[in-house]
A and B are shown apart, each in its own frame.
Chain A
Amino acid sequence: MVKLSDDERAMLDGRDGAAVQKAMELLVRYAEALDAEDFVYTNNVAGVPGSSPQWVKEYYAADGGDYRAVFSRFDLDSDEVVDVPRMNAFSCHLQGGMDPSMWQDQGMTEQAFANFRNDEAEVAAHGIQVLKTCTPYLAGNVPVMGEHCAWMESSAVVFCNSVIGGRTNCEGRESTSAAMLANRIPNFGFHRDEFRKGQHRVRVDVPVDSIFEWGMLGYFTGGAVEDTIPVLDGAISQQSLIRHKHFGAAAASSGGVEMYHMVGITPEAPSMEAAFGGASRGETFVYGQAERRAVYERLNSIGSNTDVDYVMLGCPHYSIEQIAEAARLIEGRKVNANAELWIFTSRAVKATAEASGYGDIFRAAGAKLMTDTCSAISQAVPKGTRVAALDSAKQVHYLPAMMGIEGWYGTTAECIDAACSGKWRGSLR
């Protein structure tokens, strides 16, 4: 049985109202499923609270078919519908289903947009920050070392644990919604010191120094270590936020990596010994020229037609640095008449991009700067898309399979060239 503090028992007994009680009931069931001893306090929660497509609301028609019904019955998995107050924890909404102004370009219906707008108003009314991004750490929620968080979104989870030294498991919708009300999450996994140690070594023998190379190394690493914790050392350089963002997202999608160590680079790995919590253990995987080529070929195994009609950038959501780079690459050029270029970011970063003049550059080029979502999340690609070019290993992992299209993986410059020429000319150099 999970141990409860006096405060937690009082929440379970209804002291703080029915919604907090239902949240605590769900968290207790979850903690017992995990065999967790107790809970940790969290005041940093990121999820997708209460947002749902219309059919889910219709399913709960007998309960009112509204946000309150969905939040009670689905998010809190409660048999009763309860009044949902403002959230108690600092809470953020991650990515959503469509762009708030260019939803028609994405093929969304008026009805779906009305549902989206209504959910968003409810989210705001419940005191949840409308970040609408898979990169909360670029939009106003940056945890600190050792902070207990309850986050969804595998690419954000791996960034929080590995790059920042924050502590979160890969939470789900229901656990994050409950944590927003109860300020608690089971003390399991990455919240505990002993769980954060390396399990396998990845020795890097070829120079990994650009975002493109960091992405391929991430994809290789996930394939090698699956869902365990890798310790990487060797020829890794030029570390920066965007390189970690791409590496982690790739490793989380090819294998389910939720934390990694890079010796001398990430905060819990000042040395190999510190990263492993003792002697090196597990297997040693080597990333050399042959492995690098194999990863490139695997990422490009679903493309054979070089006529590109869609280029998507922004998985995970682009940072302002990446937007500046994309703007520099496309300034003075035009997106090909047979192609579309969509770039995805958060609303916060888009505001900065507009202020910095990049919005005008993209509009002049015929590219679209969108927020909130991406093609995989919204399952929205330009009408008639057959072949996409992507600069994200994660997106190439998901999008072609989900949409039944071909996909190419390359550098940002290769993708922008493809958008302007309508031709894929990428190669491994």
Chain B
Amino acid sequence: MATVEVRQPDIVIRGRKVVGGVAEGEALVTQQTISGWGGVDPMRGEVIESHHELRGQSFAGKILVFPGAKGSSGWSGVFHMTRLTNKAPLGMLFNITTTKAALGAVVLRVPALTDFDIDPLEHIETGDRVRIDADKGEVWVWKLRV
């Protein structure tokens, strides 16, 4: 029988489940909170807020790592629309639990975690490979650059 060799992750982060499930993909990390309505274009899954460090970048198919949600109450609705346009993130890791971020993750139906033992924003960089097992409350991180 063939065996699949899995490289041990460089870092393991533990957190609280927001939405269950497993997802693996490339990380897109921002140190800045994200606005939904007026801050994200749901047609392109792209951050459009003026002065945002992710402006012009798409989170479609990525693991979005961010401090939390801000701005209009249209946050969940805009992220929900990215599910319809196939521009949704694969998973979400955020530090601050607000109604906006929690409801957004719920209706996106993507694995999501919060309340971490160590800060993902300090340990995950854009381009790292990340596996979220939200049911186990674990994030595995393989660094792009060690």
Asked if A33 and B71 sit within 8 Å, CB to CB, the answer is: no
Known contacts A172-B103, A172-B104, A174-B103; decide if A253 and B74 are in contact (CB<8 Å): no
Residue in A32, A35, A77, A170 whose beta carbon sits within 8 Å of that of B73 in the complex: A170
Q: Which of B21-29, B58-66, B93-101, B123-131 contacts A (4 or more CB under 8 A)?
A: B93-101
* Contact with B71, one of A26, A188, A256 (Cβ below 8 angstroms): A256
A157 to B71: give the CA distance in the assembly, Å. Answer: 12
Distance A59 CA – B38 CA, assembled complex (angstroms): 22
> With an 8 A cutoff between CB atoms, is A154 at the interface?
yes
User: How far is the CB of B135 from the nearest CB of chain A, in Å?
Assistant: 12
Contact indicator A77/B106 (Cβ below 8 Å): yes
Q: Quote the shortest CB–CB distance from A404 to chain B (angstroms).
A: 10
Which residues of chain A come closer than 8 Å to B56, judged between CB atoms? none
- Does B102 lie within 8 Å of A30, measured CB to CB? yes
Complex partner residue of B106 from A33, A152, A401, CB under 8 angstroms: A33
Q: Is B139 an interface residue (CB 8 A)?
A: no
The yes or no answer to B57 lying at the interface (CB within 8 A) is no
Known: A35-B97, A59-B84, A401-B50. A152 touches B73 (CB 8 A): yes
A173 at the interface (CB under 8 A from B): yes
A34 at the interface (CB under 8 A from B): yes
Name A34's contact: one of B76, B84, B102 (CB within 8 Å). Answer: B102
Known contacts A33-B18, A170-B99, A154 near B73 by CB under 8 Å: yes
Name the A residues within 8 Å of B105 (CB-CB). 33
- Asked if residues B80 and A74 are in contact (CB atoms below 8 Å), the reply is yes
The contact string, 1 if C-beta is below 8 Å from chain B, for chain A 243-283, is: 00000000001011000000000000000000000000000
Residue of B74, B84, B102 touching A173 (CB-CB under 8 A)? B74
Please report the total number of B residues contacting A with Cβ < 8 Å: 34
Q: How far is the CB of A205 from chain B (nearest CB, A)?
A: 28
CB-defined contacts of B84 to chain A, threshold 8 Å: 56, 59
Choose from B18, B19, B68, B80 the contact partner of A174 (Cβ within 8 Å): B80
How many A-B Cβ pairs are below 8 Å? 89
Which residues of chain A are near B115, meaning CB under 8 Å? 35
Residue B11 CB within 8 A of the other chain: no
> Does B99 contact A153, Cβ atoms closer than 8 Å?
no
Say yes or no: A256-B70 contact (C-beta < 8 A), given A35-B16, A174-B76, A175-B76: yes
Q: Are B99 and A173 in contact (CB under 8 A)?
A: no
Whether B73 and A171, one on each chain, are in contact in the complex, defined by CB atoms closer than 8 angstroms, is yes
- A146 CB to closest chain B CB, in angstroms? 19
Task: Please state if A172 and B100 are interface contacts (CB–CB under 8 Å).
Answer: yes
Interface residues of B in 66-96 (CB under 8 A from A): 68, 70-77, 80-81, 84, 96
Within A37-56, the residues touching B (CB, 8 Å) are: 48, 56
Which residues of chain A in 188-223 are interfacial with respect to chain B, using CB atoms and an 8 Å cutoff? Answer: 188-189
Residues of B within 8 A of A26 (CB): 106
Which residue of B has the minimal Cβ distance to A55?
Answer: B84
User: Is the Cβ of A29 less than 8 Å from the Cβ of B73?
Assistant: no
Which residues of the partner chain A approach B100 to less than 8 Å between Cβ atoms? 170, 172
Bound-state Cα–Cα, A255 to B72, Å: 10
B43-59 residues at the A interface, CB under 8 angstroms:
49-50
CA–CA, A82 and B52, complex, Å: 40
Q: Does B107 contact A (CB under 8 A)?
A: yes
The complex places the Cα of A25 from the Cα of B22 at a distance, in Å, of: 21
Hey, which chain A residues are within 8 Å of B49, CB to CB?
Answer: 401
Residues of B within 8 A of A48 (CB): 77
Does A364 sit at the interface, judged by CB under 8 A? no
Q: Smallest Cβ distance from A393 to chain B, in angstroms?
A: 15
A56 to B71 CA separation, bound complex (whole angstroms): 23
A172 near B73 with CB under 8 A, answer yes
- Name A1-44 residues within 8 Å CB distance of B: 26, 29-30, 32-35
| Smallest beta-carbon distance A19→chain B, Å | 17
Q: Are A30 and B103 in contact (CB under 8 A)?
A: yes
Contact A30 B80 (CB under 8 A): no
Query: Nearest Cβ distance between residue B112 and chain A, in whole angstroms?
Result: 8
Min CB distance B87 to A, Å, is 13
> Which of A157, A174, A188, A401 meets B107, CB within 8 Å?
A174
Question: Given contacts A56-B84, A170-B99, A189-B99, are A30 and B72 in contact (CB under 8 A)?
Answer: no
How close is A32's CB to chain B, nearest CB, in angstroms? 8
Q: Whole-angstrom distance between the alpha carbons of A398 and B109 in the complex?
A: 29
Say if the beta carbon of A346 comes within 8 Å of chain B. no
Assess whether A398 is in contact with B38, with CB atoms less than 8 Å apart.
Answer: yes
Interface pairs (12), CB distance under 8 Å: A29-B106, A33-B102, A33-B103, A34-B102, A35-B115, A152-B73, A152-B74, A172-B103, A174-B106, A227-B96, A256-B70, A401-B49
Q: Which 9 A-B pairs have the closest CB atoms?
A: A172-B76, A33-B102, A152-B73, A173-B77, A169-B99, A256-B70, A172-B103, A33-B18, A401-B50
Q: Give me 8 other A-B pairs in contact (C-beta within 8 A), A172-B76, A256-B70 excluded.
A: A29-B106, A56-B84, A170-B99, A173-B73, A188-B99, A227-B68, A227-B70, A401-B38
